[in-house]
């Protein structure tokens, strides 16, 4: 990670693996209730994949003070949000999920919460970046506190914005040397392997099935059960466990150039477009067929990989760039 090119390859490799986990996680979501292995994979993936993505996004937000950064955020984040919010509204109407076409820009469809929250995270930097590490601990307190607000949920993605903001701010605060010391230390690789395997084993034996909403961060404590002060402590512990797993994951990422490394630059295309494929498959295939493939782990992995390869291809970028990046 010493040079710019190596650092780019490292993060592109990380982003490709993370977008694969996003696709795989969404693909197995309707299957997880029928297979214990898939349920454990799902919970482990959702524990760290979005926090890792968000941390990397924060790492590359260090130029927020540069001239034109705010306008660039509107163009690259907010405009694609509005465009795909309309596309999803039309799509849901056409496949029968919605009776009418309603363009509601205040409640993000499905995975579009990330774009809205990403825009707000960039705005929050103007305040929290000045506070440095004090701001990071304040962000954690806010992430815990938002759970006590009963009506915080999908509206403007408020719940997820505050729950996941500490990861974005941490990525912003970390510099290259600090990150390298953590993920490229002498024992980082074996420790990272132990962390990932240990987390899977731990979740396989102890993660309750009704606790999945805790990983999503999209609702209040009251909506996940009874609202108690201990819930704040649980979220604090979740922050700690998630960060351990995130850095365990980052320690496993190579800095070499691979054929899929280039797709790490186009993860936004995969993220925005993969939902149409997955949701269409769920609509086309009967429930029995979907359940029957839950035990075919290789097929699920290959299908997720192919979705990433196709949607991350140059051809897809060429024809969808006007929608994704507002470029003609």
Q: Give pLDDT tens digits for 187-226.
A: 899 999 999 999 999 999 999 888 899 999 999 999 888 7
pLDDT of residue 99: 83
Higher-confidence position of 288 and 212? 212
Is the pLDDT score of 228 beyond 90? no
Q: What pTM was computed for the model?
A: 0.93
Q: What is the DSSP letter of 137?
A: H
Q: Which of 106, 14, 103 is nearest to 60 (CA)?
A: 14
User: Confidence band (pLDDT; 50, 70, 90) for 110?
Assistant: confident
User: Confidence band (pLDDT; 50, 70, 90) for 286?
Assistant: low
* Percentage of residues of the chain with pLDDT beyond 70: 95
**Range(s) of the domain holding residue 269:** 4-12+21-324
Tell me how crowded residue 296 is: count the other CB atoms within 10 A of its CB: 12
Distance CA 158, CA 160 (A): 6
Instruction: Give the tens place of pLDDT for each residue, 146-188.
Output: 999 988 888 999 999 999 999 999 999 999 888 888 888 888 9
Tokens 């795909």 correspond to 84
Give the residue-averaged pLDDT of 250-277. 94
Least confident residue range of 30-34, 59-63, 216-220, 283-287:
283-287
Alpha-carbon 138 to chain mean position = 22
Backbone angles phi, psi at 164, to 5 degrees: -95, -5
* Percentage of residues of the chain with pLDDT beyond 90: 71
Give the residue-averaged pLDDT of 138-153. 93
Opening angle at CA 156, ends 82 and 269, nearest 5: 40
Least confident residue range of 20-34, 103-117, 275-289:
275-289
Residue 207 token pair: 């993660």
Higher-confidence position of 246 and 94? 246
What's the mean pLDDT when you consider all of the chain? 91
- Which three-class secondary structure state does DSSP give residue 228? coil
pLDDT of residue 3: 40
Q: What is the DSSP letter of 312?
A: T
User: Confidence band (pLDDT; 50, 70, 90) for 290?
Assistant: low
Residue 74 token pair: 């509107």
Q: Domain count of the chain?
A: 1
Q: What is the DSSP letter of 225?
A: S
Residues 6+ apart with CB under 8 A from 109: 84, 85, 88, 89, 92
Is the pLDDT score of 118 beyond 70? yes
User: Confidence band (pLDDT; 50, 70, 90) for 4?
Assistant: very low
Q: Which of 111, 108, 109, 227 is nearest to 158 (CA)?
A: 108
Give the residue-averaged pLDDT of 24-31. 93
Query: Which string of DSSP letters, residue by residue, matches 72-117?
Result: HHIIIIIHHHHHHHHHHHHHHHHTTS-SS----SSS--GGGHHHHH
């Amino acid at each position: 990670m010493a040079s710019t090119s190596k650092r780019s390859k490292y993060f592109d490799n990380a982003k490709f693996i993370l977008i694969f986990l996003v696709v795989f996680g969404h693909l197995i979501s309707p299957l997880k209730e029928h297979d214990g292995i898939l349920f454990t994979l799902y919970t482990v993936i959702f524990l760290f994949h979005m926090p890792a993505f968000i941390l990397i996004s924060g790492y590359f937000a260090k130029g927020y003070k540069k001239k034109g950064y705010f306008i660039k955020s509107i163009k690259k984040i907010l405009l694609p949000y509005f465009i795909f919010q309309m596309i999803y509204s039309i799509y849901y109407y056409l496949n029968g999920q919605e009776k009418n076409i309603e363009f509601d820009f205040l409640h993000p469809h499905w995975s579009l919460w990330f774009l809205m929250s990403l825009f707000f995270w960039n705005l929050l930097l103007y305040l929290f970046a000045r506070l440095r590490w004090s701001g990071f601990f304040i962000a954690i307190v806010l992430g815990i506190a938002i759970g006590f607000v009963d009506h915080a949920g999908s509206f403007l993605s408020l719940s997820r914005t505050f729950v996941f903001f500490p990861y974005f701010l941490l990525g912003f605060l970390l510099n290259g040397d600090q990150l390298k010391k953590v993920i490229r230390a002498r024992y980082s690789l074996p420790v990272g392997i132990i962390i990932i395997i240990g987390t899977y084993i731990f979740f396989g034996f102890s993660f309750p099935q009704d606790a999945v909403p805790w990983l999503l961060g999209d609702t209040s404590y009251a909506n996940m059960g009874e609202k108690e002060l201990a819930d704040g402590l649980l979220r604090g512990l979740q922050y700690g466990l998630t960060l351990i797993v995130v850095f365990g994951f980052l320690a496993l990422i190579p800095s070499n150039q691979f054929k899929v490394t280039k797709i790490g630059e186009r993860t936004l295309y995969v993220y925005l477009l993969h939902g149409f494929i997955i949701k269409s498959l769920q609509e086309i295939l009967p429930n029995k067929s979907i359940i029957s493939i839950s035990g075919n782990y290789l097929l699920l992995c290959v299908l997720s990989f192919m979705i990433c390869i196709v949607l991350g291809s140059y051809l897809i970028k060429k024809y969808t760039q006007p929608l994704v990046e507002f470029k003609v």
